[in-house]
Structure 1
Amino acid sequence: MNEIKVAFAGVRRSSAFFKAFQLHPETQIVALCDINERTLAEAGKATGVTQLYTVYEKMLDEARPDVVVVATPMQYHAPQAIAALQRDIHVLSEVTACVSMDEARWLVQACRQSSAVYMMAENYIYRKPVVLVQAMVEAGLFGEVYYAEGEYLHELSALHHTPEGQPTWRYYWQVGVNGATYPTHSLGPCLQWIQERPARVSCIGTGRWTDPEHAMEDTILLLCKTASGKLIRVRLDMLSKRPHAMTNYTLQGTKGVFEGARRPGERDWVWISDYCRDPNQWVPLETFEAEFLPEIWRDPPPEALQAGHGGGDYFEVMDFIDAVQGRKAPTIDIHKAMDMTLPGLVSQESIRRGGEWLEVPDSRQW
């Protein structure tokens, strides 16, 4: 493939990717789409892109991109990804992959019928500590990993209404549904480390103490069991009044443990039995960077640092373009995207049944 033509849907959120695609030597941004004409015009001016659209399908048909980045509100991710896949246009989709079981099946079917690549843009797996822990897991430092947890504590009440007081999509789709509606930032890294899909889930909540207006309970706990019995705990809270803490992670194995920083200024710590003589000796995670951090992360290129998230955005785009070019498999293909999305969909029925354990479908069997 020659220079890859890239289009964006939802310019406010997708602007985080602009720099990464502009800096990539194989890509060119050719079109932008957004229903807000003012936002669209501002993005066009900032990027120098002149093909601007307010109708998504029209952009796909007229601009004829090779790739589309779907960064619209989450209820549009599956329909817009499917529309692109049906045109054999590669898709990088924001999270979550879909908002219903029907959409999940339609999206998997579209991926199977299309010659295009689908990848979900779960950027938390590209955070440097997550990458380092994964490399250490693969090297066997933690032994057999059997427990992981992730927490996404992000008070978003300011985004539930427009300045004019109208409910936004988040009001309906994130906190307007009870259950783990937005689990992928927590599940993503845990699944990278555990390397098994969630087979069963149980979901419970605290009740509604902050604002009874919303269907979602203030704090949601999602427990995921793999077929071999490994356990993942996810805490999701987008309502409680508290400082943000969106990257709380823990990993436990037979030979070691990782405890991520929970507050600004804190460090990530590990205890590894083969390295720590004292059974109570914690070691800073960065101690293991020189030996285990992937080479490209040790001395990231200048363009990576320009792209944001400490290089994560650049590496995510680089992986996606490598998949489009056939150099590697997509990091989060349709089935891994389902592994991160389906537990949240099943959780909505589990919490309705008082935390009953329910099976999570395996999209590979559809």
Structure 2
Amino acid sequence: MTPPSLKSPQRRALLLASTAGLGLAASSGAVRAMAPARPRTRLRLGMIGTGLRGQVLLRELLRREDVEVAALCDIEPLMLAKALAMAEKAGRPRPATWGEDRDPEAWRQMLAKAGLDGVIIATPWEWHAPMAIGAMQGRVAVGCEVVAGITLQDHWDVLNTQLQTGTPYMLLENVCYRRDVLAVLQMVRAGLFGELVHLQGGYQHDLRAVKFNSGDPAKPYGGGVEFGPKGWSEARWRTEHSVQRNGELYPSHGIGPCAMYANIHRGNRFTHINAFASKARGLQDYVQAQGGKDHPNARVRFKLGDIVTTSLACENGETILLQHDTSLPRPYSLGFRVQGTKGLWMDVNQSIHIEGRSKPHQWEPFQPYQDRFEHPLWKKHAAAAEGAGHGGMDFFVIHAFVEALKAGAPMPIDIYDAVAWSAITPLSEQSIAQGFKTLEFPDFTAGAWKTRKPIFAFDERY
């Protein structure tokens, strides 16, 4: 899908139309279930956005006998054709399609006419909030790719719609299902690290060849320094965020697991946030090196700091540090660290130290601990997840959404998780813009965090 400009009148009109009729922030603090929440054995699902990310998730849907992929929507004919070819290759009936006429409102027609139980939203970030709101208002359950909204108001609007309609909403954060991440969750719950004190995570991933390419659909990564209308795939829309915004633009990969470990919204919550940004050099250097100093994009000034560091404080006394690092050369890492009164785990060196078990001042290899504390989900579904995207994580996140929706059960990554994790972005932007000011973190649960119980990943169905 090609998004409207980040600040365009079209985008504002979309948001206003999508949120029409919404009241003030709901105060019940309770995530409602669809009523009646009757168990189902098979779902009719649709997908909005059939680009490269959408196709990865579509593959998981097409593998399932309990899912009928009934409808697809995209305004890029090439991507829509690729998705249809995937359905045909899988031996599935041809889904109904919307968007061939490039109408940016085609998704509304699909939601109104396709008779769906749920929809996967895998579009550029600007579309997530209006599309999720439109789906929930139509009582179509939402599985939304990460980033719930752009502005802080977007997040309140998504939350209020879910609370008022009761329509299920899940943020499709796949890293919460990473094999080592879930093993560490088991270790945290078993008390192996003692009382948690500090957590770290982030998105540390060289995206220069994602944010720029030649504009050739056959070469979506690298090969040029075009972005925006001349770019292709993510370079067409994602790079503009680096031009216009300065903050923690992609928090959920890091904060999702950390929030699970710290029981955020289930006896704990974020209370304060601040963010710092370094100077911006990496993207301009890359454009000049790859395209030459005379290329028009060599004169673009990127607002996004090369390294953005965000700190959060929690009600129960833990601190969390996130780092966004996508504009400089580096190997991929999410930089997880879980530290408590009895020891710590770090994913960068795949090592662990537990007082009383490890030799003093020495690391141990993590793998034996991961094997011992393997999460039941991986014990049960490892074979089914083999070959799925991102080392199997994409199988688990789709499986979780489908199984919870079939059962009429709460979504394991629910609306409160979605908006709080994603709202880190506009809050970090605000902190940086105000001279790295520390801000109070909104309580999206209206106090319900005090009584909600930890449920994530305990149910072996999802």
TM-score (normalised: structure 1): 0.92
Aligned to 1:110: 161
Post-superposition CA distance 1:308-356 (Å, at most 9, x none) = 3332222212211222123642111010112211222111111012211
Q: Secondary structure at the match of 1:248?
A: coil
Quick check: 2:352–2:365 contact (8 Å CA) kept in 1? yes
Aligned to 2:376: 295
Post-superposition CA distance 1:206-259 (Å, at most 9, x none) = 11223371111111110111123311111102212x133232211110011001
Q: Which has the larger Rg?
A: 2
Aligned to 1:221: 309
Quick check: 1:146–1:194 contact (8 Å CA) kept in 2? no
Quick check: 1:175–1:238 contact (8 Å CA) kept in 2? no
Worse overlay, 325-334 or 89-98? 325-334
Aligned to 2:277: 205
Aligned to 1:258: 345
- For structure 2, which runs of at least 5 residues remain unmatched after alignment? 1-39, 89-93, 100-105, 216-225, 229-235, 285-299, 448-462
Q: Amino acid of the residue matched to residue 282 of structure 1?
A: W
Distance of aligned partners of 1:83 and 1:174 in 2 relative to their CA distance in 1, 3 Å threshold: farther
Shift of 1:162: 6.0
Quick check: 1:178–1:348 contact (8 Å CA) kept in 2? yes
* 1:51 correspondence with 2:96: yes
How does 1:73-152 map onto structure 2 within 5 Å?
73-152=124-203
Post-superposition CA distance 1:15-51 (Å, at most 9, x none) = 1112322223321111111110121012111212341
Aligned residues: 359
Q: Secondary structure at the match of 2:445?
A: helix
TM-score (normalised: structure 2): 0.74
Aligned to 1:171: 239
Worse overlay, 168-177 or 220-229? 168-177
Q: Amino acid of the residue matched to residue 78 of structure 2?
A: R
Q: Amino acid of the residue matched to residue 179 of structure 2?
A: K
Quick check: 2:42–2:406 contact (8 Å CA) kept in 1? no
Quick check: 1:145–1:194 contact (8 Å CA) kept in 2? yes
* Higher relative strand content: 1
Could you say what the CA RMSD is over the residues aligned between the two structures, in angstroms? Answer: 1.9
Taking the aligned partners of 1:282 and 1:51, their CA distance within structure 2 comes to 55
Aligned to 1:238: 326
Q: Amino acid of the residue matched to residue 89 of structure 1?
A: V
Quick check: 2:41–2:406 contact (8 Å CA) kept in 1? no
Aligned to 1:31: 71
Quick check: 2:69–2:95 contact (8 Å CA) kept in 1? no
Taking the aligned partners of 2:278 and 2:363, their CA distance within structure 1 comes to 33
- For structure 1, which runs of at least 5 residues remain unmatched after alignment? 262-266
Post-superposition CA distance 1:155-179 (Å, at most 9, x none) = 3233335635452221223552011
Distance of aligned partners of 1:328 and 1:316 in 2 relative to their CA distance in 1, 3 Å threshold: same
Q: Runs (4+) of structure 1 moved beyond 6 Å?
A: none
Match of 2:336 among 249, 253, 258: 249
Aligned to 1:264: none
Shift of 1:281: 3.1
Q: Secondary structure at the match of 1:300?
A: helix
Taking the aligned partners of 1:166 and 1:312, their CA distance within structure 2 comes to 29
Quick check: 1:68–1:89 contact (8 Å CA) kept in 2? yes
Q: Amino acid of the residue matched to residue 246 of structure 1?
A: S
Aligned to 1:279: 360
Aligned to 1:356: 437
Q: Secondary structure at the match of 2:246?
A: coil
* 1:180 correspondence with 2:248: yes
Worse overlay, 283-292 or 114-123? 283-292
Aligned to 2:205: 154
Report percent identity of matched pairs.
Answer: 28
Aligned to 1:10: 49
Quick check: 1:203–1:351 contact (8 Å CA) kept in 2? yes
Q: Amino acid of the residue matched to residue 351 of structure 1?
A: I
Match of 1:20 among 35, 52, 60: 60
Taking the aligned partners of 1:217 and 1:313, their CA distance within structure 2 comes to 30
Taking the aligned partners of 1:78 and 1:313, their CA distance within structure 2 comes to 22
Aligned to 1:191: 259
